[in-house]
Amino acid sequence: RTQKLIAYQTALGASAGTALFSQDVMRSEPFAHAPSIDPGETSGSVTTNSQPALSSSFLDPATSKAAAEALKNAKAAGIPVEPSEQGSNVWVVSGAKAESGRPMVASDPHLSLGSPPTFYEVAIEVGSDSDSEPLSMYGVSFPGAPSIVHGTNGHVSWGSTVNPTDVTDVYQEQLTLAGGAPVATTYQGSQEPTQIIGETYRANQPGNGTPDDTVVVPPSASVPPATIVVPRRNNGPLISVSGGTGLSVQYTGFSATREPDFFRLLSHAGDVGQAIDAQRYFDFGAQNWMYADDSGNIGYKTSGEIPLREDLQTETVTGLPPYFIRNGTGGNEWISDPSPAEDQAIPYEILPFSEMDGLVNPARGWISNANQDPTGQTFDNDPLNELRPGGGIRYITPGHEDGNRNARIRARIEEALADGSVSFGEMQSIQADVKLNDATVLVPHITAALADAQDPGAPAGLAALGSDPQIQEAVARLSAWDFSTPTGIPQGFDASDVDGALDAPSQGEIDSSVAATIYSLWRGRALKLIVDDPLAAHGLGSFPPDGAQAMTALRRVLAGSFTGASGIAFVADAADRDTKVLQALRNALDLAASPAFSPAFGGSTDLADYHWGRLHRIVFRHTLGGPFSIPPGAGFSDLGLGLPGVATDGGFGVVDASSHNPRASTLNGFMFGSGPARRFVSEARTNHPNAVQVIPGGESGNPSGPWFGNQLGLWLTDDYHGVSTVRGEVLSDAAQQQRYVPAP
């Protein structure tokens, strides 16, 4: 973010560059406004103030160099430096709104889809002969975690999504060097010693025939001799040094945290209230937790410790906000807490648990979250203008997910309630939803552009596009489209298929598949013409917004914001907008017919050949490759020569998460690698819920074993297997078990 801000200010000047960043292309406002907590459902009214002035004057020329070095090193180490396409869905429906009269929860966390899956299924039985109360739990866990992470204990069922809170601050430090090593930082004019921890790295010598033949790797440009810790930064490290300037990181995860205590207490929770209270110990990795219990309750509460910054607590911003590089010499520190509460991990003041977002048993009877802004705090594009009840800026994050998934979840729930109630089957159907919410917003602009192009007074260039028969056919297909994204091919896995068995697509599915391909190709071409090219024209082609923010910028331009607050004209006028919209469509069709896409479409110019499943594919990759990856493991095959992976429905921002970069423009650019690491739906019943679950593969990583990839067919067609927490049934159903007894 800081690199982009500096680049924008350098190209356009401080004022226009800042406006380009915050108002035009890097907005906090999401694409879709779809909160978890509606206005009026919070415990009190929201107080706002005007946006504080921002200043980057403390940054020196070394900042960009230091940031570039840190990003380069992170990329080399495989650390993500851009927003990922991962996320999660969770929603709850009360008994009053459920067909059965019982509360329900649906949960599908989205993580990397590898082989074997990230989660594995596990049941836990604690017998009555133990010192603890009897337990019968079922769900999923991470290898090594001593509990159920997502699942049910019979009384309470739960799931969660990531809540992208800002708990990491990067500071520009003024350093004192001795012998080339940073031995101190400057804070309020005084020097504070760093801690230098010597590091020794050893590596095996492959290929010499000697096992475990390790040698010390000498320090070099890529192998540091030491880690340099800045104690003030929650014992965080310096991540780059450039002369007398360095960058340090302060991060809540650098303190010891107590998530195992949360899971222990959650295991024994008898109702939603007890489950929410346990969240006080979920210190790091902020989540949106949702619960349904057999007493008839539903509930939602966010978790994770959010540090309070001293400048924000005085309702000002000193220098730049926390989502940029901050001045490390003082004025914007985390506020020290000399006596933290027993359930608090970091030694700094945090947002009180009572001020964390939450909702229990709302009158409307349901709550949903898909990583989007829970309350709409950023819908006005300002994450810094909401005040805490006792004073201070209530800052959570500069931006959440784009809102597309939750917009669809909300729409599906509201549609079901309009017909009467939400059924257990409808909960599963919503998890399988593959309609593109962004298309519902943007396709009308495409159809309107064609209408304008066919108007007798249209400019010549626009009129020529409007008379193009292929453009006319493409727009007709988009106009008739229901925004769904089936594969459209016999080899493709769709939610309409059953229990992993493939079925031939209907003509309606084929038509929707073609429309999905045309739109998805158009989206990337439109982003280039309308967002990226105007930036490149000002020398900013290397600093585009990320995909989600680019989509928000595109929506605003198409809706009429032709010239940005920065003064950059993204389109000249309405005719230029329509021309670029249709030119993007022409470019998309040319791309589909190009040699680059020949493995998918064979160079065809017949739009009916553009089936979405030829592009939208997935490989469940294993680090070891070969038969450990799927395909070729578990009996699955690549779609075809030059088309690796399994074809499946879905696409950008759909509920059944299978997203790709919205700028995708290559044959394999529409593949995806993250999505539901587990699907779970539970309906509360006394002592044991009615529940179903599936994981994307199998329990085992052994390709020759029976539990390798054995659930993948069910997962690909959005089907499930049953779940039981009835005492005794878990053991009778178990294929394998481990028994733990107290030591003598």
- Would you say residue 241 has pLDDT above 80? yes
Q: In the prediction, which pLDDT does 221 show? A: 79
- Would you say residue 133 has pLDDT above 90? no
d(CA 617, CA 600): 11
Q: In the prediction, which pLDDT does 49 show? A: 47
Q: In the prediction, which pLDDT does 48 show? A: 43
Single pTM value for the model: 0.94
The pLDDT tens digits for 681-725 are 999 998 789 999 999 999 999 999 999 999 999 999 999 999 988
Q: In the prediction, which pLDDT does 129 show? A: 65
- Would you say residue 739 has pLDDT above 60? yes
Q: In the prediction, which pLDDT does 480 show? A: 98
For strands 168-178 and 326-327, give the pairing.
Answer: parallel
Q: In the prediction, which pLDDT does 143 show? A: 85
DSSP 624: T
- Would you say residue 571 has pLDDT above 60? yes
Q: In the prediction, which pLDDT does 732 show? A: 82
Encode 238-255: b = buried (16+ Cβ within 10 Å), e = exposed: bbbbbeebbbbbbbbbbb
Residue 104, helix vs strand vs coil? strand
Question: Phi and psi of 292, rounded to 5°?
Answer: -135, 135
Q: In the prediction, which pLDDT does 713 show? A: 97
- Would you say residue 46 has pLDDT above 60? no
Q: pLDDT-based confidence at 251, cuts 50/70/90?
A: very high
d(CA 170, CA 728): 52
d(CA 742, CA 130): 8
Higher-pLDDT residue of 463, 72: 463
d(CA 738, CA 455): 73
Handedness of CA 662, 666, 671, 673 (dihedral sign): negative
d(CA 239, CA 226): 11
Joined tokens for residue 251: 């991060």
Asked if 292 and 135 touch (Cβ cutoff 8 Å), the reply is no
d(CA 281, CA 303): 9
Asked if 193 and 183 touch (Cβ cutoff 8 Å), the reply is yes
Higher-pLDDT residue of 147, 516: 516
Look at residues 404, 715, 664 and name the one whose alpha carbon lies nearest to residue 517: 664
Q: In the prediction, which pLDDT does 61 show? A: 65
d(CA 332, CA 313): 10
Q: In the prediction, which pLDDT does 82 show? A: 67
Joined tokens for residue 589: 């069709």
Q: In the prediction, which pLDDT does 40 show? A: 84
Please name the residue ranges forming H helices in 538-573: 547-558
The pLDDT tens digits for 8-33 are 999 999 999 999 999 999 999 999 99
Q: pLDDT-based confidence at 74, cuts 50/70/90?
A: confident
Cis ω for the linkage preceding 631 (within 30 of 0): yes
Higher-pLDDT residue of 310, 42: 310
Give the mean pLDDT of the chain.
93
- Would you say residue 43 has pLDDT above 70? no
Question: Quick one: 190 exposed, middle or buried, by C-beta within 10 A (0-12, 13-18, 19+)?
Answer: exposed
Mean pLDDT, residues 92-109: 97
Which residue pairs from 282-285 have beta carbons closer than 8 angstroms and sit at least 24 positions apart in sequence? 283/252, 283/255, 283/257, 283/258, 283/259, 283/344, 283/345, 283/346, 284/167, 284/252, 284/253, 284/255, 284/257, 284/259, 284/345, 285/162, 285/253, 285/259
d(CA 133, CA 267): 11
Residue % of the chain over a pLDDT of 70? 96
The pLDDT tens digits for 261-302 are 999 999 999 999 999 999 999 999 999 999 999 999 999 999
Asked if 669 and 597 touch (Cβ cutoff 8 Å), the reply is no
d(CA 243, CA 537): 34
Q: Which residues pair with 122 in a beta bridge?
A: 139
The beta-strand segments (E) located in 321-443 are 326-327, 358-360, 366-369, 386-387
Asked if 105 and 685 touch (Cβ cutoff 8 Å), the reply is no
Instruction: Tell me the Ramachandran region of residue 141: left when phi exceeds 0, alpha when psi lies from -120 to 50, beta otherwise.
Output: beta
Mean pLDDT, residues 342-351: 96
Q: In the prediction, which pLDDT does 42 show? A: 58
- Would you say residue 527 has pLDDT above 90? yes
The beta-strand segments (E) located in 266-399 are 287-293, 298-302, 326-327, 358-360, 366-369, 386-387
Place of tokens 């989540």: 287
Q: pLDDT-based confidence at 44, cuts 50/70/90?
A: very low
Based on its alpha-carbon atoms, the radius of gyration of the chain, rounded to whole angstroms, reads 27
Look at residues 32, 94, 5 and name the one whose alpha carbon lies nearest to residue 545: 5
Mean pLDDT, residues 592-607: 98
Mean pLDDT, residues 637-652: 97
Cα-to-chain-centroid distance, residue 185: 35
